[in-house]
Structure formats: C-alpha cells, structure tokens
Chain A
Amino acid sequence: MKNDISGIERRILSVLQEGLPRSRSPYRDMARQIGIGTEQLLSVLEDWKEQGKLRRIGAIVNHFKVGLGAGAMVVWQVESERTKQVGEVLAGFEQVSHAYERRVTENWPYNLYTMVHGKSPEEVREVVEQMSRACGITDYRILVTQRELKKAPPTYLKSRQGSRAKPPPPHRVRKEVANGKD
C-alpha cells in the first residue's frame, strides 16, 4: 500500500470512517474497538489534526432538514490568470460550501466549481447572480441538484483489519449507554 499511514493509524482509520459511535463516550468506545487506549487514540487524532490529515470532527447535518433543500453545483469558466482571485471571491460567499479549481478536458471547459445552497431554487439563482457580478465572470452554468443518488461516508479501508470486535452499526441506538449514568 502506498498510503502514508502506519499500522495503528490504519486500524484507527478503519473504525473512524464509520463515524463516531452513538455513545456519550465515543472515543473510549472506538479505542476499545481498535484495541488501544483512549489516550492513544486521542493523541493520534491530535497529531492528524496538526498535520492537516484530519480537518475536523463534527456533526454532518442533513441540509434538507434545516430548511436548505435547494442546491446547485455552479461551474465557471475563468482564464487561468484570474483563477485564484475569482476562486477566493466565490469562496467568500456564505452560501457556498465547496469551491474548487478542477482540471479541464476537451469537451468540458469549466475550471471553477462551487456548491451553492439556499431555501429555494430562486434564492440559489439570485445568489449565483450576485456571485457573477462580484467576480465579473458571466460564463457559468447552474447544474441544479435533482436528487441524491448515494451519500455514504468514504471507505478508506475495506476490510477491518485490526479492529478486534465487530463494531456496532454507527446509527444503532445503544440504550445501555444512552440510559447509563456516564
């Protein structure tokens, strides 16, 4: 394997990719699953954070359920000299969750990509118009999201080598923990 991580890190990754267990002491439960101490787990995660391998741990919110049901990917065609400046302007909009420069291909000339969210398609369109005015790029396309076909946490490691016990599914309610006096 060419991945730059050690054996213990692979074991951590294979458990971490499933999401945190639904427990009041999630790291302790994960550490137990991995077969290491909680302190060791937390120390590796701190290191990953410092090295930028771990961006953050946090709740992934279903944005349809918090009133942001409309979304679109907007692609922009920007001359290469202006890419950085335009990318930064577009990323500055709070309605934008993702902004990337991507490779262009023969039949696909768009090089900047933004994910824009709003309450309604009209709101998204208005924001995109503001974005266009702010950066001066008029060559863009709005690709309205019609349907989510798959959304799964990334699978970094397929077999769970190193995890001792079979872990509980991430969304299972663990009553004994939920009701315990932790």
Chain B
Amino acid sequence: MDELDCRILHVLQSEFPLSERPYEVLARKLQISCDELWERVEKLVDQGVIRRIGASLDSRKLGYSSTLAAISVEADRVEQAAEIISRFSEVTHSYQREHQFNIWFTMIAADNERIESILEQIRSALSLENSEVLNLPAKQLFKLDARFKSQG
C-alpha cells in the first residue's frame, strides 16, 4: 500500500457519499481520476484490505435488539461451540479470547426474547450452566468508530 492507497482508505472509511456517482465525488476530493480511484479500490478489495463497503446502522433505532454475550467452554470444545454459535444468523461477530469466558459474540435480533431464546439454545446444546453464559446488553454508548488509520 502506498500513500495514495492510504488516502483512499481514509476517505472510503470516513464517508461514502450518498450520490448517484459516489466514486466521482471521492475522486474529485482526492484529486485523481475516477478510473484510477476505481482501479485502486478494486485492488484493495481483491487484496482483502477492504472487506466490503457497507452501512453502519443503529440497530436499536431500526427497532432491533442487540447484545454482547459470552460463554465459558473447555478448550477442546471451542470448535464445536463456535460452529453452533455461528449457525445463528443473528450472531454478527464472534471471537475467541484468552479468559475463562473464552467465546464472545455480538447479536442483533428482532427482540430480547429472541436473544434469550438463542442463548438458551446455545446453553443447552453445549450443556452449560446458567453461570457459564453471560448476556451483557449495552446501557450506554461512548464510542463506535471502527475506522483505522492506515499504517502505510
């Protein structure tokens, strides 16, 4: 990635224009041609640097419920647990972390009942105690900004 790639990543992360021809708007901002911008963007997507261009939505304002959940499973059951958890389309991210609670995942679902029901299904599929499942919905948001400064 060169300096121009970094500038492109920066503007693409900041605000993708709501316009008929968004890449033309961005190209003007970057003072490069639209063809050059498009070529670079395609390359960054092919390389996997850009996962996708998508919308960050406020799930609550759209009427959905969300939460962060965690479970505690033995090391040799992580794969099985990950597979069970990933099956639910409501699960958006999941990570293995170094802790007694070793699998953490976020969910967006139609309502809290659905979240409770999924957690119960996961708990019973893995024969976990109630104390081995955490449901930690947010009470207050201080920051949500997953934009990264490119390191060049």
Minimal Cβ-Cβ distance residue in A for B86? A150
Residues of the B chain whose Cβ atoms lie less than 8 Å from the Cβ of A173? 42, 46
Residues of the A chain whose Cβ atoms lie less than 8 Å from the Cβ of B142? 87-88, 90-91, 99-101
Residues of the B chain whose Cβ atoms lie less than 8 Å from the Cβ of A168? none
How many contacts between A and B, using CB within 8 angstroms? 257
The secondary-structure label for the interface of chain A is: mixed
Flag whether A117 is at the interface (Cβ < 8 A): yes
Interface residues on chain B, number (Cβ under 8 Å): 77
A59/B21 contact (C-beta < 8 A), A20-B53, A100-B142, A102-B68 known: no
1/0 contact trace for B101-117 toward A, CB 8 Å? 10111001011000000
Whether A58 contacts B16 by the Cβ 8 Å rule is yes
Residues of the B chain whose Cβ atoms lie less than 8 Å from the Cβ of A42? 18-20
Residues of the A chain whose Cβ atoms lie less than 8 Å from the Cβ of B145? 97-98
Residues of the A chain whose Cβ atoms lie less than 8 Å from the Cβ of B29? none
Distance A145 CA – B149 CA, assembled complex (angstroms) = 20
The 8 A-B pairs at the shortest CB distance, nearest first, are namely: A3-B63, A67-B151, A91-B143, A59-B12, A99-B142, A101-B140, A91-B142, A19-B52
Q: Which residues of B contact A (CB under 8 A)?
A: 1, 9, 12-16, 18-23, 34, 38, 42, 45-59, 61-64, 68, 82, 85-86, 89-99, 101, 103-105, 108, 110-111, 131, 134-152
